[in-house]
Amino acid sequence: MMYTDTGRLNCNISYATFATSVRRQAPETKDLSTMLHKSPEGAVILESFPKTTVDVFALVLEESSIACSLCGDLPVITTCASLALADAGMMLHDLVASVSVSCIGKNLLIDSVTEEERCEDASMMITCMPSRNEVTQMIVTGEWLASKLHEAMELCVDACSKLGQMMRSYLKEAAFGSQE
């Protein structure tokens, strides 16, 4: 490997053998790992870590849904990876929060459960840096009406903003709680 002025970020997602309810092959982990890499890549200040590789490993112990690991597991993994990077003291432009929305008929549901995902017509996942109001990744599946797509995007960004505030408060609580 050659010297670079910036660090590298490696992400890997794997599933435990007992993670799925049905004994079957785990979801396509290489694709999920690539998508995980794209989410925090813009948030981590890799220039401050020359000649360094930062590894993010996520081991899923229980799959969140049978229907779509993309919109079920990936938002949780992305948010947890961001919290882990911040807790480890990595320099970040901002935390990365991720939320999924399912469209069932005319209804939009944030972070739906397995039973709801089985009925969904379409789904969306948005990952953003809430303080900077920047979307780092957006994944859309299914057929959307333009009006519903816009409404779902606003719902996701608003939920990411609220999640970002909660993430900050938990990090502050952990930092100040450890000093006592």
| pLDDT, tens digit (0-9, with 9 covering 90-100), for 125-173 | 999 999 999 999 999 988 888 889 999 999 999 999 999 999 999 999 9
Q: Quick one: tokens of 81?
A: 């990876």
Rounded to the nearest angstrom, the gap between the alpha carbon of residue 135 and the centroid of all alpha carbons in its chain is: 12
- 118: helix, coil or strand? coil
pLDDT the model gives residue 55? 93
- Please give the Cα distance from 20 to 74 (Å, whole number): 15
Q: Quick one: tokens of 11?
A: 């992400």
In DSSP terms, which residues pair with 58 in a beta bridge? 13
- Please give the Cα distance from 59 to 47 (Å, whole number): 28
Ramachandran assignment for 111, one of left (phi > 0), alpha (psi -120 to 50 degrees), beta (any other): left
The model's pTM: 0.86
Over residues 42-56, mean pLDDT: 89
Q: Quick one: tokens of 24?
A: 């079957």
% pLDDT > 70, the chain:
86
